[in-house]
Amino acid sequence: MCFNSLFFLFFFSMNNFFFMVYFIMNGLSVFFEWEIVSFNSMSIVMSILLDWMSLLFMMFVSLISSVVIFYSKSYMNSELNLNRFIILVLMFVFSMVLLIISPNLISILLGWDGLGLISYCLVIYYQNLKSYNAGMLTALSNRIGDVMILMVICWVMNYGSWNYIFYMDFMKNDYVMFVVSFMIIIAAMTKSAQIPFSSWLPAAMAAPTPVSALVHSSTLVTAGVYLLIRFNYLLIDMFFFKILLFLSILTMFMSGISANYEFDLKKIIALSTLSQLGLMMSILSLGFPDIAFFHLLTHSMFKALLFMCAGVIIHMMNDIQDIRYMGGLSLYIPLTSLCLNISNLSLCGIPFLSGFYSKDLILEMVSFNSFNLMVFILFYLSTGLTVFYTFRLIMYVMINDFNLMMIYNLYDEDYIMLNSMFVLLFMSLLSGSFLSWFIFSYPYMIYLPFNLKLMVIYVSILGSILGFMVSNMKIYSLNKLLMSYNLSNFLCLMWFMPNLSTYGLSYIYLNFSQILFKNIDMGWSEIYSGKGIFNILKNYSVFYNVYQMNNFKIYLFSFILWFMILFIFFII
C-alpha cells in the first residue's frame, strides 16, 4: 500500500509540475464546470480551476504526502492497521486537493469539512486519553470554521451562484460581501490557528509524527492561508484585514515566546509552525498575497522535513520527546542531523537556503512600505525569537552532552526514513530559488538604507547569542524559570488562552447541567411525571378495587336504586 501510494503521488506531483510550468509560461488557466442541479435562480455546479497557483500547491502537497507515506512505512511499521492509516492519509490528501482546485464554495466546503474530519481521525489515531482530548480540541476548533463557511454559503446565495471568483472584484461595496469577508476571515483563522483559536495546534501534536509532518506543517494549517489568498481581491481594503493583521502579528510573537519555554520537541516545532503561520497571515493582510503564497510553499518543505527528523530522533530515543534527555546527537546521527540543521537554518532565514528567499523578502517588504511602528517591531522581534528558539533547540539536541540515562544505541541507518528525508532536503535547499524564479515574473523593487537592510542579520545574531546563552546549563546555574515563576507561566502557556477556550467554555455549562440534572431530571420531574403519576394511578386503582370487591346483591340493588331515582325524575 505504501509503495503504491508513493509512486502514484510522486507521479502526480511531477505531472503537476510539468503542467504548472506550461501554464505559467503561457499564462494559461483552465476552468472545468459541470452543472449538477439548477433551481430557479441558483445553480449547484462542480467546478475545477487549474491555474498556476493551484497546480503549484498541488505539486507541493502531493510531493510532501508521497514522501510522508513512504516515511510512515518505516515509522509506523509496528502498527497492526497500517492500511487504515494510509487510507486516512490518502483521504486527507484527496480533501486537500479538492480544496485547492475549487473556485466554488460548495466544493471548498467539502474539502474543508473533509480536512477537519480526517485530521480528527488522524489525531486520535493513538487511542489514549491525551489523544482523545487533543482530537476533540482540534475537531471543535475546526468546526467553528466549518460553520463560518456554511454561513458564507448562505450569504453568497444572494448572488446566484457559488463561484466566488467571479464576484470578488465587482461587489466590493456590497453589504453581503462585508459579512462574507468577516466570516471567511474567521474561518481561515480557525483553520490556521490564529490567536483566539490557537490552542489546538500544540495539542494536536498527540498525533503520530507522519501526521504532524503532513497535516500540521504543510497542508491543514495552510488551508486557511490559501483560502485567504484566493479571496484576496475581495478582502484587500476591508477593515477586517487590519484586525487580521493585528491578531496574526500577535500570534507570531506569542508563539515565538512560548516556544522558548517548551521542552517537548514536537511542541517546539508546532509553535514554530504557529509562528510562521502568523507570519504568512500578517504579510497577507498587509496586501502581498503572492509573497504569502511563496512563504507558504517554502515553509511547508522545511517544516515537513523538520518534523520527519524529529520523528527519527523520537524513535531513536525510545519514544522520548523531551529535549532535556537529548544532546550531542550530531556526532552519532550525521545524516539526520544534516537534515535537521538545514531545515532549522532555513527556518531562521540563513542566506540562500529556501527560507531565506521568502522570509527576507517579507521583512524587506515590511520595511520598505510604511507601516506601523508596532508592526515593524513585532516582525523583527519575532524573527529574532525564531532564531532564538531554533538555536536553543540545536544546542539542546545537537551540541550539549547526551542526557539519556541509559546505555543506548543511537543509529541512523533506517534508509527508508532517510531517503524520504533526502527528497525533502533536496527540495528544501532548492525550492526557494526555484519558486522565486517561477512565481515572480519580475522582482520586487526594494530600496532600503544600509542598517535597515542589515536589521535581519542583527536580529538573527542577537537571537542566536541568546539561544546559546540560555541553553548553557551547569550544575550550579540558577533556575531562572523558577525565579520568574508567574511570568514564565504566562509566557509559556500561550498567554493562558487555551484555558479560555477549553476550561472556560465548558465549565459553566457542565456545572449548570449538573445542577439541572440533579434537581429536575432526578428531582421534580420524577414527582410530576415519572413515578409520581404512577403512584397516583396506583392509588386510584387500589381505591377502585375497594368498590369492585363487593357483595353481588349490592350491585343489583344499586342498579335498582339508580332506576328508582331516574323514575322519580321521570315522574316529576
Q: Which of these ranges, 54-62, 266-274, 393-401, 561-569, lies near another protein under the rule CB under 8 A? A: 561-569
H or E, element range at 287? none
- Yes or no: say if 394 and 326 are a contact pair by the CB < 8 Å rule: no
d(CA 432, CA 435): 5
Nearer to another protein, 39 or 569 (CB): 569
Nearest to 75 by CA among 312, 319, 323: 312
DSSP letter assigned to residue 477:
-
d(CA 89, CA 265): 23
d(CA 120, CA 228): 23
Q: If binding means CB under 8 A, how many residues of this protein chain bind another protein? A: 21
Q: Is 34 in the site for another protein (CB under 8 A)?
A: no
Q: Is 564 in the site for another protein (CB under 8 A)?
A: no
H or E, element range at 46? strand 43-50
Q: Which of these ranges, 28-36, 451-459, 504-512, 534-542, lies near another protein under the rule CB under 8 A? A: 534-542
**Cβ of residue 535: shortest distance to another protein, in angstroms?**
11
Q: Which of these ranges, 259-267, 300-308, 355-363, 562-570, lies near another protein under the rule CB under 8 A? A: 562-570
H or E, element range at 48? strand 43-50
**Cβ of residue 521: shortest distance to another protein, in angstroms?**
21
Alpha helices in 200-353 (DSSP H): 200-203, 209-214, 220-230, 232-235, 239-261, 265-285, 289-316, 334-348
**Cβ of residue 543: shortest distance to another protein, in angstroms?**
9
Nearer to another protein, 525 or 535 (CB): 535
Q: Is 535 in the site for another protein (CB under 8 A)?
A: no
Nearer to another protein, 175 or 544 (CB): 544
**Cβ of residue 540: shortest distance to another protein, in angstroms?**
5
Q: Is 411 in the site for another protein (CB under 8 A)?
A: no
Nearest to 215 by CA among 194, 234, 193: 193
537-556 residues near another protein, rule: CB under 8 A? 537-538, 540-542, 544-545, 547-548, 550, 552, 555-556
Q: Is 560 in the site for another protein (CB under 8 A)?
A: yes
Nearer to another protein, 496 or 555 (CB): 555
Nearer to another protein, 37 or 546 (CB): 546
Nearer to another protein, 166 or 557 (CB): 557
Q: Is 561 in the site for another protein (CB under 8 A)?
A: no
Q: Is 569 in the site for another protein (CB under 8 A)?
A: yes
Q: Which of these ranges, 27-35, 44-52, 313-321, 533-541, lies near another protein under the rule CB under 8 A? A: 533-541
∠ CA 352-356-362, rounded to 5°: 145
Name the grid cell of 467.
539561544
Q: What share of the chain is helix, strand, coil (3-state, %, to 5)?
A: 75, 5, 20
Determine the straight-line distance between the first and last CA of the chain, rounded to whole angstroms. 100
Nearer to another protein, 373 or 564 (CB): 564
**Cβ of residue 524: shortest distance to another protein, in angstroms?**
21
- Yes or no: say if 146 and 113 are a contact pair by the CB < 8 Å rule: yes
**Cβ of residue 541: shortest distance to another protein, in angstroms?**
4
Nearer to another protein, 324 or 538 (CB): 538
Q: Is 25 in the site for another protein (CB under 8 A)?
A: no
Distances (CA, A) of 485 to 21, 154, 393, 471: 54, 49, 22, 18
Nearer to another protein, 11 or 540 (CB): 540
Distances (CA, A) of 186 to 174, 224, 228: 19, 9, 10
Q: Which residues bind another protein (CB under 8 A)?
A: 537-538, 540-542, 544-545, 547-548, 550, 552, 555-556, 559-560, 562-563, 566-567, 569-570
